[in-house]
Amino acid sequence: MTIRVAEPADADVIAQLHARSWHTAYRGILSDDFLDGPLLADRRALWRARFAEVNPDQMVLVDEEGGNIQGFACAYLDADPDWGTLLDNLHVVPECKGKGLGRQLMAEVANRLLKLNRTRLHLWAFEQNHTARGFYERLGGVITTSQAESAPDGREVNAVRYCWSDLAVVQWVREKSL
């Protein structure tokens, strides 16, 4: 397994993985019409746009094994003055969940942020996504707030913000689990 910086040529593969992950993780949270319909086109448009412009505050990492992308993380440096870097996406191929890929991606994001003297990280998770929430809590994430937000399918869903004020905790949890 290799974690590397994503390239523009990875956009469609990342979009497909993103859609596959949402298709399984967000069933019952987002509408079936969206998940079974325009989801892939929506994610393709998003990732092509993200890679079309150079954004020095965007960090996209992929976890690759045997030439296949198994997971990815996307973070935006200094996205919030109080909460720091925003981890906007963390997804692993559904059949690879539970194998430590998500932990490794989180640890790599934390390592890179610490090298850039960024010490805070936050993310938003759907309140109903209990699997993801358990994962973030095991990595030391602390809920700071909850709010309703508009989801890509047009629904209003509740989301919780997780925050890490000490990124060394993410590294420690990863090392402990190896």
Question: pLDDT tens digit string along 89-138?
Answer: 999 998 888 888 999 999 999 999 999 999 899 999 999 999 999 999 99
Question: pLDDT tens digit string along 46-77?
Answer: 999 999 998 999 999 999 998 999 999 999 99
Which domains are delineated in the chain? 2-177 (3.40.630.30)
Tally of helices (H runs) and strands (E runs) in the chain: 6, 7
Give percent helix, percent strand, percent coil of the chain, each to the nearest 5.
40, 35, 25
Is the per-residue pLDDT at 177 higher than 60?
no
Residue 54 near residue 22 (C-beta atoms within 8 A):
no
For the CA atoms of 166, 92, 28, 83, the dihedral, rounded to the nearest 10 degrees, stands at 20
For the CA atoms of 146, 148, 152, 155, the dihedral, rounded to the nearest 10 degrees, stands at 140
Helix (H, G, I), strand (E, B) or coil at 71: strand
- pLDDT for 178: 46
- pLDDT for 171: 57
Distance CA 163, CA 155 (A): 25
Distance CA 92, CA 21 (A): 7
Question: pLDDT tens digit string along 27-51?
Answer: 999 999 999 999 999 999 999 999 9
Confidence of residue 175 (pLDDT cuts 50, 70, 90): low
Tokens of 107: 């640890």
Confidence of residue 167 (pLDDT cuts 50, 70, 90): confident
Task: Give which of 101, 165, 178, 112 is closest to 135, Cα–Cα.
Answer: 101
Q: What value does the mean pLDDT take over residues 164-172?
A: 74
Question: What is the model's pTM?
Answer: 0.92
Task: Give which of 29, 164, 66, 45 is closest to 109, Cα–Cα.
Answer: 164
